[in-house]
Chain A
Amino acid sequence: MSALRHEPAFVDRQSFIELGARERALTLFDEGTTRELAGPFDRIESPWLPLQGVTPQADDGCVVIKGTIGGRSTVVVALEGAFQGGSLGEVSGAKMTAALDLACLDAEKGQPTAAVLLLETGGVRLQEANLGLAAIAEIMASILTLRTHAPVITVIGGTVGCFGGMSLAAGLSSYIVMTREARLGLNGPEVIEQESGVDEFDSSDRALIWAINGGEQRHAMGLADALVDDDVQQITTAVRQFIVMGVPATHRSSQVALYRERIQALDATQQVSPQTLRETWGHSDGTGSTA
């Protein structure tokens, strides 16, 4: 009897969601290869938050770590969802842009460097509105340049999810990895409810939100490439696989005609159900999805 183990796998797994941004980033790397860029002791913090009476964070909620993953040069940029909802301000945006641009320079010098974005974010930081918007534009431009040289992999672990401007960055990346707990969407549920009313989207209805924005649905409708458990090992394995796979032949965001056709084919006179989208958009038909 004593030799039998009855614990299900989730008892033994190491949770990714429970880790902070820096720990999440560090778990992905080969041991002893990491170096943090513009870390907390460099104190490159937001100059705008204290002016508005908001306590800043020494790394502005953006952790940049360079090293190797499976022996390949990689930079990981992790947003800290617990600090200001993982929002992008002037400094955190500049850190992400600079990291992507340095990876691009590496590639031009013959050392391809992949980028992994750990996105836990509501998008632009409202206290730095215009600077945050500009930062997102820069990030998107940098992703578009880098992704021709090396894969850009977005991981959405949860539970903040990835919304607002950063959902556009996720959409431009080469591969998206999500957990069931994660969400991906342009406008967050609260924003939709506030702007269009509770009849449009009830932001307190968690089952509804996850049926539309949740990782399982996003993967089933072909908008995410891998669905993994909240498990460090599974996420690391998925990231390694996508780094090895390299730049995809066609990025999902380049398939404009395909998605335009799909959206036009939807019958807007009646409510489209999440299940219908799974069946009609499902990812066995060359949407760029791989898992």
Chain B
Amino acid sequence: METIEFDYPAKRQVSGRAHVGVVGSGDLEVLLEPVVGDSAHVFIRTSVDGFRDTWKAVLDRFFSKYDGAVSIQINDAGATPGSVQLRLEQAVEVSEP
């Protein structure tokens, strides 16, 4: 298991939180919660070591569109980058109905 953390700038306060996904093979769990401030923090625990660059690429892309001040926790059980992207988008959808 590897732990990875990232920070991104945020422009917008959000109010909702979201919990989506499951830590099952090829899937992941995302917990998204609002925070006070002008940045977003991402905390990842993944069962597959050595993919920091891939995680950064997926999250860079996600935060190129999303600007909420949130704390995101990801518990990953080997999801593909596509699945990660979809779960992140689902979390946003659930938190901002």
Contact = CB atoms under 8 A, between A and B. Distances in A.
Nearest to A80: B22
B23, B24, B27: most-surrounded residue (chain A CB, <10 A):
B23
B73 interface: yes
Interface in B56-75: 73, 75
A159 interface: no
Contacts of A57: 22-23, 29, 75
Contacts of B75: 55-58
Interface residues of B, number: 18
A41 interface: yes
A55 B1 CA distance: 6
Contacts, number: 47
Contact of B33 (A20, A41, A56, A82): A41
A58 B45 contact: no
Given A41-B31, A55-B76, A82 B24 contact: yes
Interface string A35-72: 00001110000000010011111100100000000000
A50 B46 CA distance: 10
B47 interface: yes
Given A40-B19, A41-B19, A50-B1, A58 B73 contact: yes
Interface string B24-37: 11010101010000
Contacts of A80: 22, 24
A83 interface: yes
Interface string A72-85: 00000000101110
Interface range, A side: 10 to 19
A58 B29 contact: yes
B17 interface: yes
Contact of A83 (B22, B31, B45, B76): B22
Contact of B45 (A20, A39, A41, A55): A55
A34 to B, nearest CB: 15
Contacts of A50: 1, 45
B92 interface: no
B14 interface: no
A39, A53, A82: most-surrounded residue (chain B CB, <10 A):
A82
A100 B4 CA distance: 37
Contacts of B23: 55-57, 61, 82-84
Contacts of B45: 50, 55-56
Given A40-B19, A58-B19, A82-B22, A53 B1 contact: yes
Interface of B: 1, 17, 19, 22-25, 27, 29, 31, 33, 45-47, 73, 75-77
Q: What 4 A-B pairs come out closest when comparing CB atoms? A: A82-B24, A57-B23, A53-B1, A40-B19
16 contacts: A20-B22, A39-B19, A40-B19, A41-B19, A41-B33, A50-B1, A54-B1, A55-B23, A55-B77, A58-B19, A58-B73, A82-B22, A82-B23, A82-B24, A82-B25, A83-B23
Given A53-B47, A55-B77, A56-B45, 5 more contacts: A40-B29, A50-B1, A55-B46, A55-B75, A56-B23
Interface of A: 20, 39-41, 50, 53-58, 61, 80, 82-84
